[in-house]
Amino acid sequence: MSGDGLLVTVDSHVHRVPAQVKVVALFVFVLAVVSTPAGIFWAFGLYAVILATAVVVARLPLPVVSRRLAVETPFIVFALLLPFVATGPQIDVLGVQLSQTGVLGAWNVLAKGTLGVVAAILLSATTAPRDLLGGLERLRLPATLVAILSFMVRYLSVVSDDLHRMRIARESRGYTGGRVGHLKAVAGGVGSLFVRSFERGERVHLAMRSRGYTGRMPTLGQPGATRSQWAQGLAISLLAVVIAVAARVVAS
Amino acid sequence: MSGPAIHVERLVFAYPDGRQALFGVDFTVERGERVALLGPNGAGKTTLVLHLNGILGSVAGGTGSGRIQIGGTGLHREHLPEVRRKVGLVFQDPDDQLFMPTVRDDVAFGPANLGLRGAELDERVHEALVQVGMHDHADLAPHHLSFGQRRRVAVATVLAMRPEVLVLDEPSSNLDPAARRELADILAGLDVTLLMITHDLPYALQLCERSLLMDNGRIVADGKTRDLLGDADLMSAHRLELPYGFNPLSVPGPER
Amino acid sequence: MRFGRNKIKNDQVHVPDGFFNAPTSVATGLIAAGAVGFSLQRANREIRETGPALAGLTAAFVFAVQMVNFPVGAGTSGHLLGGALAAALVGPWTAVLVMSTVLLVQGLLFADGGLTALGTNITLMGLITVLVGYFLIRAVLRVLPRRVGSVVPAATFGALVSVPVAALAFTGLYAIGGAVDIPIGKLATAMVGWHILVGIGEAVITAAVLSAVVATRPDLVYAARHLQQDLVLVDADGNTSTVSPDKPIAAKPAGRSLGVGVAVTLVVAGGLSLFASAHPDGLEFVGAKLGFESAAKGSAVAGSPLADYGVSGIGNSEVSGALAGIIGVLITIVVGLGIAKLASLRANKAS
């Protein structure tokens, strides 16, 4: 687990957009997508084109993006269940009776969910964790929360390496304790991981106080975005809002 | 700073789980001295050292008794910020001290808390990084550095506060020979009072003219490093052993 | 998640974008923001003592542990969500912050969970599981003997119940703002039924992990901090003295919990009122199902500016409805915070 998140280190226009602009832009975009009535298929086509363009401009390798889409799999199951579970008028699909609203609902979940995941991948692959936190700080996220996030990101790799080493140690000893004993071993390791993480947290805090910390964390110093940077960054999102409004008008 | 750099009197301490770690520790370190703190694992060396800037002990709201003075001033809650600037503690695990996103952020943390800003802060950060030879790596994240590099940056984070007493916990552990030598050069060139916990006896002899030997929460010997290391009975009584082929009488001590 | 190396996937199912409609996403976002802000206030005293590093490391711990495959018996394995465990280990407010941070990082840095669904995910997995878990821990601890070991059964029970309750909350949310119509009865049975099983797994794992911590460092367990024994010290001359263990960082005065409970209820209720205004059909539907319809007639505030969820003076009914809901939420949050503040001031005076 890396403290680099999912960052893909290439240079592109998208990478250079300030983090706070990207966060706002993506929220607005996804909100627009979620507000679009499910039946207006052309709207979703447009969204997909917009996102695909952004992925290309960001120079993200396609295999990387599609691999990360795999996180979607759990709720695909839910989506596929909907046609069988939902009520309302039935239609015939390949000889199977499916709920009409259920099929539309499945499409709704799949389309919006996938677009949402790609948007999130776009954000995480083009923004270094430090810059993302700096952007959140500029967006007035409370300083304590930014500090907690910052420490979490910094020590993610340390803690999960600890866990990994524990697992390797356990497996190297060819653990054959039987099921009940097995849980005890894993949980014991996790328990001691908590103690170690807690103690490390205390030591870090003491290292901070040793260097004069009295409660205020230094800011991450993310520079503010200019008006033109905001305009550039929000352009796609505002386009999406226009599409969403148009779709609503057409649907009503 | 008036008075001895460090003065500890009848220090007693127990951990929250009831295990007592210090059974009455007394010692004094004068300004400019370089002292090694030797002893087997579990002797209480790290515990003792954590008392020196108020991390453990009654000032921290913990359990214990005894008196500690740094530069003539007693260790009380009100003096803590000043003591923490004067006594720079470099932990054994650099990951405990490199908690900011980049090296530059970490080294700047201390001086920024002292009130430095802008160009003055950048200057101080640069100076500390140059002292440890890491100024090329200022914008890297800690997990991109090797262990030895992280150890050096950890020292820089403390040096940036311009401490008067530098306390190091196992500075040479896990370092490859070149990194070990580089660190020794850095430490030898610093103008501070030095207290160094170490198992690395040649390192102790190289850098510190005086040594304290601790065992079972008490100080059992206090004298010239060369004398301690040359006393075979003392060493074996407290589980200390010289590295293969090392004769403390055959090498020069620290150059001052 | 390790990409390229041992792919250990995070099996937590986060709500994706598109499950809930936009007004619901916004509303849960507001609730989550309010709850996190509230927890920050509450936890700040502790955080000032122990530092944000401790919370950050606990968050890193929870994140890492959520990916561990725990064998839970009968040949199955399960994952830990960690809400009740976190509450037992670091206290409820820090736990809310910890869980929210984990969800934030998962959503923003690891593209796991919909960006618009962050509010929902934080409310369900970060707020409800923690608060229900902690409430039950406190309740059970009142009944069990005053020993450090008692936190384990207390937290186990808290973990067991917290999961199905969150599932119930999910069903409630879906009834109001789900994007697709599903018979609520069916959904409730399926969700709650499945999550009772998940809750059992959560309980078993919580019990195992907490026992391990209590066995080595009971002083680190927030929920056990008043259950410890005094220490006996020996100094150089052999004299003994008795000392009580390190004082807990922020002993909670008694009056706070009530004020806090009221405040949280108001925040949640306020949020629900927003749903109602955004989807009058949804809440009435639920209300009709549960027989509340008759109670809605002839409300005493019929003449007030917010009556019938319409802000007077604003034309479009949907906009004014949403606006009324938002105003309602803001008022309840402010009132809730005010009550909590008063309660804590009174309690501080008393202590």
In chain A, where are the structural domains located?
13-135+224-251, 141-210
Distance CA C302, CA C281 (A): 19
Q: Residue C139's pLDDT is what?
A: 94
Across chain C, how many H-helices and E-strands are there?
11, 4
Distance CA A200, CA B196 (A): 22
List the structure tokens of A31: 């909100």
**Which of B19, B58, B63 to probe by mutation at the C interface, max C CB count within 10 Å?**
B63
Total of domains in chain C: 1
The reply to whether residue A179 touches residue C75, judged by beta carbons under 8 angstroms, is yes
Point out the residue among A3, A212, A213 whose CB comes nearest to the CB of B143. A3
Residue C251 included in any domain: yes
Residues of A in Cβ contact (< 8 Å) with C75 = 179
Chain B residue closest in CA terms to A204: B96
Distance CA C30, CA C17 (A): 16
Q: Residue C61's pLDDT is what?
A: 94
Residues of C in Cβ contact (< 8 Å) with A27 = 115-116
Helices C83-90 and C184-216, axial angle in degrees (round to 10): 40
Closest of C339, C341, C321, C342 to residue C331, by C-alpha: C339
Distance CA A244, CA B256 (A): 77
Residue C11 included in any domain: no
**Which of C26, C105, C180 to probe by mutation at the A interface, max A CB count within 10 Å?**
C180
Strand positions, DSSP E, B64-177: 64-70, 73-74, 87-90, 165-169
The chains in contact with chain A, meaning 3 or more Cβ pairs closer than 8 Å, are B, C
**Which of A156, A199, A210 to probe by mutation at the B interface, max B CB count within 10 Å?**
A210
Residue pointed to by tokens 């694992």:
B41
The reply to whether residue C246 touches residue B16, judged by beta carbons under 8 angstroms, is yes
List the structure tokens of C266: 């108001």
Residues of B in Cβ contact (< 8 Å) with C232 = 18
- Return all residues near B120 (Cβ < 8 A) that are at least 6 apart: none
Closest of A221, C98, A210, A203 to residue B102, by C-alpha: A221
Strand positions, DSSP E, A64-179: 90-93, 96-99
Q: pTM here? A: 0.79
pLDDT exceeds 90 at position C272 = no
Q: Residue C123's pLDDT is what?
A: 92
Chain C residue closest in CA terms to B14: C233
Strand positions, DSSP E, B18-104: 20-29, 34-38, 64-70, 73-74, 87-90
Residue pointed to by tokens 């596929």:
A80
> pLDDT confidence of A49, banded at 50, 70, 90?
very high
Residues of C in Cβ contact (< 8 Å) with B17 = 217, 219
Closest of A14, A146, A197 to residue C104, by C-alpha: A146
Chain B nearest C-alpha distance from C136 (Å): 28
Q: CATH no. for residue C324?
A: 1.10.1760.20
Q: Name B222's bridge partners.
A: B212
Chain A nearest C-alpha distance from B15 (Å): 13
Helix (H, G, I), strand (E, B) or coil at C239: coil
Chain B residue closest in CA terms to A202: B96
Q: Which of A152-161, A170-179, A210-219 is predicted most confidently?
A: A152-161
Residues of B in Cβ contact (< 8 Å) with C213 = none
Q: What angle do CA A239, A243, A245 make, to 5 degrees?
A: 115
ipTM of the complex: 0.90
Helix (H, G, I), strand (E, B) or coil at C201: helix
Domain, as residue range, for C72: 22-230+246-350
- CB-CB neighbours of B144 under 10 Å: 14
Residues of A in Cβ contact (< 8 Å) with B141 = 3-4, 130
Residues of C in Cβ contact (< 8 Å) with B63 = 231, 233, 243, 245-246
For residues C117 and A28, the answer to whether their CB atoms sit within 8 Å is no
Name every residue in C having a CB less than 8 A away from some CB of B: 53, 217, 219, 231-237, 241, 243, 245-247
Q: What number of residues does chain C have? A: 351
Render each residue's pLDDT in chain B as its tens digit; 256 residues.
578 899 999 999 988 767 888 999 999 999 999 999 999 988 899 889 988 988 787 666 667 788 888 888 888 877 777 888 889 999 889 999 999 989 999 999 999 988 888 899 999 999 999 999 899 999 898 988 999 899 999 999 999 999 989 999 999 998 999 989 989 999 998 889 999 999 999 999 999 999 999 999 999 999 999 999 999 899 999 988 888 888 888 887 775 5
pLDDT exceeds 90 at position C274 = no
Chain C residue closest in CA terms to A215: C48
Distance CA C237, CA B70 (A): 25
Chain C nearest C-alpha distance from A134 (Å): 13
pLDDT exceeds 80 at position A1 = no
Q: What number of residues does chain A have? A: 252
What phi, psi does B221 have (nearest 5°)? -160, 145
Residue C16 included in any domain: no
The reply to whether residue C245 touches residue B63, judged by beta carbons under 8 angstroms, is yes
Closest of C168, C93, C161, C87 to residue C124, by C-alpha: C168
Mean of per-residue pLDDT scores for chain A: 85
The reply to whether residue B23 touches residue C234, judged by beta carbons under 8 angstroms, is yes
For residues B143 and A157, the answer to whether their CB atoms sit within 8 Å is yes
For residues C214 and C153, the answer to whether their CB atoms sit within 8 Å is no
What phi, psi does C273 have (nearest 5°)? -65, -30
Taking only the tens place, the pLDDT of each residue in C223-269 is: 988 887 666 677 777 777 766 655 443 334 433 444 454 455 455 54
